[in-house]
A and B are shown apart, each in its own frame.
Chain A
Amino acid sequence: MSLKKRAIIDEKTVAYVRQLAALNLTPDQIKQFAPQLSTVLSYVAQIQELDTKQVPETHQVTYQTNVFRPDVIDTSRCLSQAQALENAPQTHHGYFVVKSIF
Chain B
Amino acid sequence: MTTTAIERIASTLVAVIAIAVLFFLMVPLLVAVPLSFNAEPYFSYPMPGLSLRWYQEIFGSTVKGIEWRNAFFNSVVIGVSASILATVLGTSASLGIARGDLPFKQSLQAMMLSPLVIPVVVYATGAVYFFARVSLIGTYPGLIVAHALLGTPFVMITVTASLAGYDRNLTRAGLSLGASPWRVFRKVSLPLIGPGVASGALFAFVTSWDEIIVTLFLAYPNQQTIPRRLWAGVNEQLSPVVIAASTLLFLVTLCLLVVTEVLRRRNARLAGTL
**Chains A and B belong together in one complex:** no
Q: Which residues of chain A have a CB within 8 Å of any CB of chain B?
A: none
